[in-house]
Structure 1
């Protein structure tokens, strides 16, 4: 009730003020246009006396004093105006109307000096001044109907509210990767650093094609680790993009330090620039479990859908058969024929000879016994289903070029051997991904097993487009390799891509065990998981409501996502979000970041133009490649004939020979 009375009293005061302004304007007209009013008969002795008394106060000293005072009272009365709020009113149009009214109100005095007819001049002057006065009154009333919000509406995407402090200090160690960056905090651009001071806890690089994974991140991991003396393995999906970076970084570091690891490159397209390497070299295959792991890797690499079906009869049977073949050739003649090409050719021999030779090795007897029983009992449909899966898959690798690379021994895969450190780059071809990917998977699995050991040098394993290779036990590598100074960097386009090739469980494990994550633009589940990982920050929230009289503003603080899903899905190229890991000796308070990585584009372009191509290792022509292909086939034929003859001539072992009646 009291509030209503106060509002009513205030309204009366404002009305009185407005009436006073009108009265003052009327006195102004009467005083300065007195002759016209006298001619019209609107003057009297009484009003003249009152006007004379008022003039003594100084109100009419100067033409504009009374006029300005009348306008002032009008403006005061408008301060309390409370019109009904209207959303579609234009602020600019209302202000333009106000300016027009003020100009008309003050410039109307020029009519008195321009017009020679005094009566007409006074009429025009009073009409224009009154029009200006009423226009100001109307504009002021419209201003009260505008919706005024006391907060900035320009930040429609809430960028300023979602910004947060980030690490601005450079933390350098003998293992670290440091990326210069800049970020936005409350509308200001600040310099920062993305410091991977503990790369041994794993680095996961995510981002859709074109987000800048290789250009802004992976190239710096390669160059900085090579400069710090790391041994290195690089899986180059689009050969020779990363291999060229690694090779030229190796040349620069070698020139600066004089002592660096040796450089090796493997690719299956340009054989003259490729070293040769046997992934199942007998000295690295210490027991039958190594053979089983290699067999599983190559077959799952060739049949990616088998990854989700491990444990099935028709998945495990071919793996057991291939394990037996691997181990047989590993044991035969000191492992002289223990290469993947010899394995492929050995599997193609007829079943009588195949099972006869495999039975001679006691360690694999338990593996091949089901196959021998099925063969002798004429269960040929089952047997063909078991063996054909391996034979058909491996037959895709029967290529003179692949045989040439896989049958050589230019280097071993123990890249972090203190006596013989290496930088090894292996290239894939997106157009031949299914074939090359399986062979490279075998290389990778054998290399990881040799690298993840104690008392070795620090090493860096970099996998571009990781889902295109199959690495068995990647989760255990990341979890255990830290103590052995093995830094694992995995680049993927999206978490769904990883789930497609590795299965949901394995993909989730990889995502969760990674200590360092940096991501460009991703969407869907990948973005949701990242947003949850970055946590929440306190953000200001402002809401408003509109009624007839005023605008009500409510302000509050609440925890909300530091980096929302929508923001991760809309990142520009070179813009990244992520979280870094620290260690007990060097703690970082600010681990999360949302920044733009700074690359010196001119310097990088200049470096790329000066890059030296990968060297020619040896001159290789088609005759050399094909003769090597035929030699491998002959090796298997000679070995089979020789061993069968030995068995036939030995009464003690003659019973091992299988000769099924047709």
Structure 2
């Protein structure tokens, strides 16, 4: 026990052991150099009577035995010694002292064989042996003063913050499995990130260059195609992901019960055409409201945080009325977004006369008609002009051409006609294109989230660049309909900026699978709290003038601190996965380095086939379509006028 009496007793034992070592060495000197001691007059009968019988002991039979015995007693006394620990002591100094001391201590035996006067031999032998002895004692005392302070090797607490992770490969017909390597108490171990239930939503995050696409998204695409998923891929930087989809489908299309067809909506390089406002998919007016809200908020991202305001809801209602009118007029023959844009530009008098022909939208347009009849033109302009100005930004012949076609229907997970649809964006024009693509996503969302459809994977790279109205509802309800949603963001703050704080918090908290690379700030803090705490050993050292105390304890601390998440390398990810009743996983949290076969991927990409040109469109054809839409609007106006 650490009591004063025990420590005092131990100190006396150590002192006695060291004194015994010195006594053995002095007796050895007396016996080995007896003629010299005799000449110096240092021999006494009483001393001889005590010491000379000791020469018959085993340890004094040879010089080596005597010196080794003295050295062993010295080392024993050093092991139990205490002293003020010194952080400046270096191992190189200790090794130098000890090696030099051992060499001098034992090589001094050669002096006894020199043919010099016995006085000179005795002085040399005693001096060298004593020097070696004291060098060993100095080195040993330094060693035992330093060794207990050697606690700071893991200065970043890397090993202490490691924890066991899932090392089994857990597969099912829906899973995403990523091989990885993690650190456990300083030893690398193989592990797996098993996203066995992607239908609970997957959020992938990380700053630019952290490896979201290269280490995670490409594998989700390839593995889901191998497992027969239909797919919607939002490719922000076309054709990074579209090329992966195209070549994976070429390789694995035979695994589908019905071979899917890949479609690409590209607003710059026209490939396929599709009408996001297909009239037969708009069941009731709420579908028109959702579509109107999506396109208007996509074009005016700052409105997302102002939903409910008069001058935000008014343009949405205005566009909704136009959409629903076109849906009902002649069975939806002219129900396309280009027709909505063109009809919105018509003068109030003609426009209201047309819209009033549809009783279902009378409630929606009544505020506008009232303002017009009461000559409240400033209010009317404020209500309607923002809609006209916003829609005018996507009024171009090329966009009209893509948005008014019918190459395919948007029910991508129809078991009889499975599809893989890629939506191509351009970072330089993302605000305009993103709004149009948001409308496609909104309509596809309505159609895929139904029962008895084929399993579907929806992957959104750079998710904040689009406006997905109802993403939280999709994640919450699509699990039972086998729809897997994967969202990729750079940072939580980016999500807050584009979707507002409340919506961003819902998205972050509702997803079941979280995979994040390097992020900083609030994102890192929230992730650290989400991953929880683990038991970690804590060591503290207290040094005073006479002693050193070292204390150890076990405390709960963050498994992955925010500072560590902020310093992750490319390809290094932290996260937490969700399990299901059929596949229970105890070790859900991970912090590891995803393993990609870089050479194999490089070779695979070198052998990629280019995405073929689907159609060659002459600009004259685009202009013909553009002018035809304008003629359609004039036809509607004339037809309504004649009917009045």
Give the TM-score band, short-chain normalised: over 0.9
Does residue 467 of the first structure (1) align with residue 464 of the second (2)? yes
Q: C-alpha offsets along residues 419-468 of structure 1, whole Å, 9 cap, x if unaligned?
A: 32211111111110100000001111111111112232221111111111
Q: 1:148 to 1:309 in 2, by over 3 A?
A: same
Cα separation, 1, equivalents of 2:514 and 2:611? 31
Q: 1:358 to 1:602 in 2, by over 3 A?
A: same
Contact 1:306 1:315 in 2 (8 A): yes
Aligned length: 643
Q: 1:346 to 1:35 in 2, by over 3 A?
A: same
Partner in structure 2 of residue 194 of structure 1: 193
Partner in structure 2 of residue 242 of structure 1: 241
Contact 1:277 1:405 in 2 (8 A): yes
Who wins on radius of gyration, i.e. which is larger? 1
Q: 1:318 to 1:130 in 2, by over 3 A?
A: same
Q: Please report how far the alpha carbon of residue 351 of structure 1 lies from its aligned counterpart in structure 2 after TM superposition.
A: 2.3
Out of 609, 614, 618, the residue aligned to residue 612 of structure 1 is 609
Q: Please report how far the alpha carbon of residue 416 of structure 1 lies from its aligned counterpart in structure 2 after TM superposition.
A: 1.5
Partner in structure 2 of residue 172 of structure 1: 171
Partner in structure 1 of residue 415 of structure 2: 418
Secondary structure, in 3 states, of the residue corresponding to 2:555? strand
The answer to which of 534-543 and 294-303 deviates more is 534-543
Secondary structure, in 3 states, of the residue corresponding to 1:259? coil
Contact 1:148 1:551 in 2 (8 A): no
Partner in structure 2 of residue 307 of structure 1: 304
Q: C-alpha offsets along residues 117-173 of structure 1, whole Å, 9 cap, x if unaligned?
A: 554343333332333333334444444543614x85423333333333322333322
Q: Please report how far the alpha carbon of residue 284 of structure 1 lies from its aligned counterpart in structure 2 after TM superposition.
A: 1.8
Cα separation, 2, equivalents of 1:563 and 1:425? 36
Cα separation, 1, equivalents of 2:586 and 2:128? 69
Partner in structure 1 of residue 526 of structure 2: 529
Q: Please report how far the alpha carbon of residue 477 of structure 1 lies from its aligned counterpart in structure 2 after TM superposition.
A: 1.1
Q: Please report how far the alpha carbon of residue 348 of structure 1 lies from its aligned counterpart in structure 2 after TM superposition.
A: 1.8
Q: 1:71 to 1:578 in 2, by over 3 A?
A: closer
Contact 1:460 1:487 in 2 (8 A): yes
Q: Please report how far the alpha carbon of residue 265 of structure 1 lies from its aligned counterpart in structure 2 after TM superposition.
A: 0.7
Partner in structure 2 of residue 88 of structure 1: 88
Q: Please report how far the alpha carbon of residue 24 of structure 1 lies from its aligned counterpart in structure 2 after TM superposition.
A: 4.2
Q: C-alpha offsets along residues 205-259 of structure 1, whole Å, 9 cap, x if unaligned?
A: 1222222211222222222222222221111111111111111111112245583
Secondary structure, in 3 states, of the residue corresponding to 1:159? coil
Partner in structure 2 of residue 658 of structure 1: none
Q: 1:641 to 1:584 in 2, by over 3 A?
A: same
Cα separation, 1, equivalents of 2:60 and 2:470? 98
Partner in structure 1 of residue 220 of structure 2: 221
Out of 311, 315, 334, the residue aligned to residue 337 of structure 1 is 334
Secondary structure, in 3 states, of the residue corresponding to 1:161? coil
Partner in structure 2 of residue 399 of structure 1: 396
Secondary structure, in 3 states, of the residue corresponding to 1:364? helix
Partner in structure 2 of residue 291 of structure 1: 288
The answer to which of 130-139 and 325-334 deviates more is 130-139
Secondary structure, in 3 states, of the residue corresponding to 1:146? helix
Cα separation, 2, equivalents of 1:14 and 1:283? 96
Q: What TM-score, normalized by structure 1, do the two folds share?
A: 0.90
Contact 2:397 2:625 in 1 (8 A): yes
Contact 1:147 1:551 in 2 (8 A): no
Contact 2:226 2:255 in 1 (8 A): no
Q: 1:65 to 1:217 in 2, by over 3 A?
A: closer
Q: C-alpha offsets along residues 189-213 of structure 1, whole Å, 9 cap, x if unaligned?
A: 3333222222222122122222221
Cα separation, 2, equivalents of 1:426 and 1:521? 27
Q: Please report how far the alpha carbon of residue 563 of structure 1 lies from its aligned counterpart in structure 2 after TM superposition.
A: 2.6
Cα separation, 2, equivalents of 1:591 and 1:376? 64
Matches within 5 A, 1:419-438: 419-438=416-435
Partner in structure 2 of residue 105 of structure 1: 105
Cα separation, 1, equivalents of 2:143 and 2:476? 66
Cα separation, 2, equivalents of 1:9 and 1:597? 57
Contact 1:83 1:142 in 2 (8 A): no
Partner in structure 2 of residue 624 of structure 1: 621
Secondary structure, in 3 states, of the residue corresponding to 1:593? strand
Provide structure 1 residue ranges, at least 5 long, that are not aligned to the other structure.
Answer: 648-652, 654-662
Does residue 157 of the first structure (1) align with residue 152 of the second (2)? no
Does residue 484 of the first structure (1) align with residue 481 of the second (2)? yes
Contact 2:231 2:419 in 1 (8 A): yes
Q: Please report how far the alpha carbon of residue 636 of structure 1 lies from its aligned counterpart in structure 2 after TM superposition.
A: 2.1
Q: 1:61 to 1:384 in 2, by over 3 A?
A: same
Out of 533, 538, 541, the residue aligned to residue 535 of structure 2 is 538
Does residue 563 of the first structure (1) align with residue 549 of the second (2)? no
Q: Please report how far the alpha carbon of residue 110 of structure 1 lies from its aligned counterpart in structure 2 after TM superposition.
A: 2.8
Does residue 493 of the first structure (1) align with residue 471 of the second (2)? no
Q: 1:568 to 1:46 in 2, by over 3 A?
A: closer
The answer to which of 326-335 and 401-410 deviates more is 326-335
Contact 1:86 1:147 in 2 (8 A): no
Q: 1:48 to 1:181 in 2, by over 3 A?
A: closer
Matches within 5 A, 1:431-446: 431-446=428-443
The answer to which of 107-116 and 601-610 deviates more is 107-116
Provide structure 2 residue ranges, at least 5 long, that are not aligned to the other structure.
Answer: none
Does residue 517 of the first structure (1) align with residue 514 of the second (2)? yes
Instruction: Quote the RMSD (CA, aligned, Å).
Output: 2.7
Secondary structure, in 3 states, of the residue corresponding to 1:160? coil
Cα separation, 2, equivalents of 1:462 and 1:32? 89
The answer to which of 417-426 and 541-550 deviates more is 541-550
Contact 2:258 2:417 in 1 (8 A): no
Q: Please report how far the alpha carbon of residue 102 of structure 1 lies from its aligned counterpart in structure 2 after TM superposition.
A: 2.6
Q: 1:557 to 1:57 in 2, by over 3 A?
A: closer
Q: 1:289 to 1:26 in 2, by over 3 A?
A: closer
